[in-house]
Structure formats: structure tokens, C-alpha cells
Structure 1
Amino acid sequence: MTDVTTNDEFWDSFYAEREQVWSGRPNDAMVRETADLTPGRALDLGCGEGGDAIHLARRGWTVTAVDISQAALDRAAAHAAAEGVADRIEWQRHDLAVTFPEGEYDLVSVQFLHSPVEIPREGILRRAAQAVAPGGVLLVEGHGGFPSWEDEHDHHPDVHFPSPDEVVAELRLAEGEWEVLVSTEHERTQNAPDGRPTVRMDSTVKARRRK
């Protein structure tokens, strides 16, 4: 992935390198934190190849799934059709630094919004909070650091992994309008490129907008 300068170029190149990048399974934290929610309208920001959106659709949610990469969206749509939930998911291409899907949602899920290419992450998260309907939930999952198998020289020095407290502060949730339900770090098992299971630290922030 060389000579790419924009976010959409980076991610289209990223997905073009392999026929399938991710496992196809939904993110563990998203599954865990949405298990007790009543299905309604969900917004999946940075949906990738669609694992989370497909899981939510199976559970009865109507999903708007967004990504910057058309290659990822096309792949996700094919997976959804194969799983028989295509009618419950609308796929939209957005560079969230520029455009944002319309409407209000009972669940807004932002899973691992990290990029080697600079993005206005704080602004995107605040816009995500604005899209939560009264009584709805905002779920933000992020990495706590680089994976253990990456050499130090591979790290992107400008990438910062905020703590849960930093995420809550970045959201600037209006006092009295929100209840922070979860703000924590946790370990997650992830396979290294050579197949070895390793432990990685992630963070979860879950907040409900009061009715």
C-alpha cells in the first residue's frame, strides 16, 4: 500500500490486497454490549466487510452500514445476500470527515475507528452521538495500543489510542442528557499473523441518551 494519500484511497487499496480481510464474525464487544437491547434502527459506522451489520440484522435490527471503501461495501453486501439479510441492511459510502448518514438511530456502533491516514476522529464521534435517538445507545470500541507482534519501527507515530476516559471527554456529552453505562478497558484474545493467540487490550464506552 504505497503512494496513497487520501483516506478512501488507503482503504480501497487495503481491501483490494486480499479477497477477505476480516474473519466475517461480528466484534465480540459489539455482540456482548448489544445483547440486551431491543432491536430497532442501527447505524454501523466503519462497517468493513459487514460482520457486525449482518449480526445485527439477524437479530432483527434494521441497519444502515457505512464505510469509506466501496470495495468493502460491495463485499459486505455480497455476504449479507448470502446470509439472507440483504433486505434489512442499507449500505452507504461516506467519508465521515465530509458526509454523514441522515436520521436518528436506536443504536450507533463505532468499532475500531482508527486509521493510519489522519481523520477527525473526535468530530466523527461527536457526530455519531448526535445521531443517537432519545433512549438510544452509543457504543464506541477501540484499541488500547498496537498489537504485540508489531515491531516498534512498524508503529505509526501519529496514531493515538485514547483511553475510555479520553473517549468520554472527546464526546462532550451534554450533562443530564446522557448516562455512561460502560467505560472500561478489557483484554481480548487475537491471533497473530502466524496464528499464535495473543492478548490485546481494547476499550469500551457505552452511553445511553436519556428519553
Structure 2
Amino acid sequence: MRKSEHELADVQREHWQRTYGEHPGMYGEEPSDPAVHAAAVFRAAGAREVLELGAGHGRDALHLAREGFTVRATDFSPVGLEQLRAAAAARGVAERITTTSHDVREPLPLPDASVDGVFAHMLLCMALSSAEIHALVTEVRRVLRPGGAFVYTVRHTGDAHYRAGTGHGDDIWEHGGFAVHFFHRDLVDALAEGWQLQEVHAFEEGDLPRRLWRVTQTVPAPAGDDPPGV
């Protein structure tokens, strides 16, 4: 039985709260490969202040902080963010990380042009409608400074779980309690309109394995402007 968008969002929030509570640090301490890539992209652009969307318990936010960035980490799970704050204190990078409980269906709690880079690992492919994804990317562009980079990853329609489990419409499929919006390439291209699309890199992650795209796109900088952070 399909759930409404609001019902599905509420169920998924409760599911992630419970999952983080039952499995602290469930993704381990090592950063994801996309986070390592994002740090290199941000560093090359001269970024200093970055935002991570869907930070969870923080393995990637911690990596970005260790790489010298000031990190604003958001997630809709207070339990995950509590684990992130504890890990940041234990690793001596608490002064570089601030956390905010936030649902990306709402406007981002940041001023215009206030960060140099945005990173989101498998956040855009959660239980978000296409309209909500477009609205979120519009918000990402709003908070990025000219020349700023957005690095995100999504599971796509070549993934083994596409069309498995319960379908909720709009290419959202729920399997094992987790709802995923599987991306077509057309959606990636539509989200890049008005940006400079630098890369769409296919990769695999996990034991299944999950099949994903890592997308890097930047806000065009006016001619003659310095890169972010300079």
C-alpha cells in the first residue's frame, strides 16, 4: 500500500532514528570515497566553509573537519547528530563542526551565498519526490557562493533494488524499511541546468553492491571573480 508523501517522510524519519539508536556508528569511522573526492574538489576551489546534508552519525563531516574545513552538518535525525557531536569532541575537531537538525524538505537554515561547498552522500535519493529534489537543489544553489561546488551521490535505475519492494511512485521504492528515489540520468541533467556540470561518475558501494552516480557541479562564477575562500 502506497503512503502519502507526508506519511512516507514521517515513517522514514522514525526508521532512521531507530536505526541510528540501535546501531551507533553504523557506517564505521572511515570516510566514504565520495567524501574524500569532495574534500579534494573543495580544496582545489579554495573552499573554507562547507555544508553537509544528511550527515548522519558524521563519518564524512569528521573527515572534512580533519581536512581543515569548517563544517555545518545537518540531518533530520537528532540521534545521528548526537553521535556526530560526541565523535567530534573525542577526535578534537568539535570547534570545526556545528550541527543542525533539519529536514531538507524545508528551506536550508543558512543565508544566501554563505558556504563555499555542499556535500550530500545518498541524501538526494532518499524518500523525496522529484519536486522536492528540485527545490532542494535550488536551495543548495542559493546558499553557495559563486564558484562553489556541489558534490552529491545518488543510487540510480541500474541498481539491483530498483523496482524491488514496495513502490511509492515517482521512482521511489521501499526495500527493507529504507525508501529510495532511484535516479534516471535525465533527472541528473535537469538538476544541473544553470550550473556547470563537471562530472557524473558511476561507482559501486557496499556488498550488494549499490550502484551510484557521483555528481560534481559548480555555480558559475562571474568573469574575473576569485574562487571561493580567496
Q: Which consecutive aligned stretches of 4+ in structure 1 deviate over 6 angstroms post-superposition?
A: none
Task: State the partner residue of 2:189.
Answer: 168
- Preserved CA contact (<8 Å) 1:111 1:141: yes
**Match of 1:20?**
25
Root-mean-square deviation (Å): 2.6
Aligned counterparts, 1:106-145, within 5 A: 106-113=116-123, 114-116=125-127, 120-145=132-157
User: Which residue of structure 1 lines up, in the alignment, with residue 217 of structure 2?
Assistant: 207
TM-score, length-scaled by structure 1: 0.81
Structure 1 pair 90–210 and aligned structure 2 pair: CA distance change class (3 A): same
The structure-2 alpha-carbon separation of the partners of 1:117 and 1:68, relative to structure 1 and needing over 3 Å to count, comes to same
Paired residues of 1:80 and 1:86 also in contact (CA < 8 A): yes
Q: TM-score, normalised by structure 2?
A: 0.74
Give the drift of 1:127: 1.1
**Superimposed CA distance per residue, residues 159-184 of structure 1 (whole angstroms, 9 cap, x where no aligned partner):** 1311344223035x32xxx3211123
Q: 2 CA distance for matches of 1:131 and 1:29? A: 21
SS at match of 1:35: helix
Q: Which has the higher contact order (CA 8 A, sep 6+)?
A: 2
Show CA shifts across 1:121-161 (max 9, x none).
2211221122211111011211125864x697535454131
Amino acid at match of 2:21: A
Q: Is the 1:42–1:63 contact (alpha carbons within 8 Å) kept by the matching residues of 2?
A: yes
The answer on whether the counterparts of 2:85 and 2:94 sit within 8 Å (CA) in structure 1 is yes
Q: Verify the 8 A CA contact 2:153 2:213 in the aligned structure 1.
A: yes
Tell me the distance in 2 between the aligned counterparts of 1:151 and 1:208: 29
Alignment partners' CA distance in 1, 2:9 and 2:217: 34
* 2:197 match: 180
Cα deviations by residue, 1:8-44 (Å, 9 ceiling, x for unpaired): 3332223223223212322212212431423400000
User: Does structure 2 retain, via aligned residues, the 8 Å contact 1:164–1:204?
Assistant: no
Work out whether residues 157 and 184 of structure 2, in 8 Å CA contact, stay in contact via their aligned partners in 1. no
> Percent of counterpart pairs with the same letter?
26
Q: Which residue identity is paired with 2:204?
A: R
| CA distances 1:172-200 after superposition (whole Å, capped 9, x unpaired) | x32xxx3211123x232413xxxxxx443
Q: Is the 8 A contact 1:179 1:207 kept in 2?
A: yes
CA distance in 1, matches of 2:91, 2:166: 36
The amino acid across from 2:137 in the alignment is L
Secondary structure of the 2:200 match is strand
Change (3 A) 1:71 1:208: same
Equivalent pair of 1:134/1:209 in contact (CA under 8 Å): yes
